[in-house]
Structure 1
């Protein structure tokens, strides 16, 4: 297992998120969150092993534009050093389109889900993205 400072891992996750946003090329509002470090649940709680996660979303964009962004991801991720490991629908009742990919080096994974606006009108069309790092041992 690699050893790396948590700030460096968070910065890497944020750079990866920025690249995903570039590929999507969807004009809309983007939630403003930063990467967070958390303990890797696969390891004993006494070990200082962590990963960084960066969840964010794009909203206030036409649904067709968001769909085209998902299509760009399908086409561009493999050219950009990613392996798509899942491309289908998630397990939710809405059966939202989902793409899950891992970087070739195994340092990062991305989970992208396309959500339609709710019929009740309390949730907009939304592209939900989570970029996550591999687990690292603290320096």
Structure 2
């Protein structure tokens, strides 16, 4: 996601907040399908956030945090490996992979999908997390609402 050189956030086009949130849920669902191991996703919904430096009445981004808990803790590594392998086959570019700077040095994967104008950050929460899980944070590029509309906040 590197269209807008000023702040690193690409334009995602024109959409209402609701339609953009629906699109984000579809992206999350696609990622869930790629995990490919039995488990449960958290019940969470997308939200609206500001586009840095832009008019908050007409520009917005969508974020969608959720988690995935495998049915068996031993499947956590497989779930992360499957994402690392499968995301690039589905239009995602992995831009970062490896231990993060946390005390537990959790494995983190960051991937961008330029076509969908979405970025995902996946953290493997294994060390002290009970139960072990993947934490996923998706965020869109910057949308502009259609003329005459306002950003709905939720």
Instruction: Bin the TM-score by the shorter chain.
Output: 0.7 to 0.9
Partner residue, 2:66:
56
Q: CA RMSD in A?
A: 1.8
TM-score (structure 2 length as normaliser): 0.79
1:135 corresponds, among 142, 148, 152, to 142
| SS in structure 1 at match of 2:14 | coil
Give deviations 1:69-126, integer Å, cap 9, x for gaps.
Answer: 11111111111001000011122111100110000326111110101152xxx73211
Partner residue, 2:113:
103
Q: How does 1:55-74 map to 2 (within 5 A)?
A: 55-59=65-69, 61-74=71-84
Residue pair 2:70, 2:76 contacting (<8 A) in 1 also = no
Q: How does 1:1-139 map to 2 (within 5 A)?
A: 1=11, 2-40=13-51, 42-44=52-54, 46=56, 48-59=58-69, 61-105=71-115, 107-118=117-128, 123-139=130-146
Distance 1:11 1:54, change over 3 A: same
- Unpaired runs of 5+ in structure 2? 1-10, 147-154
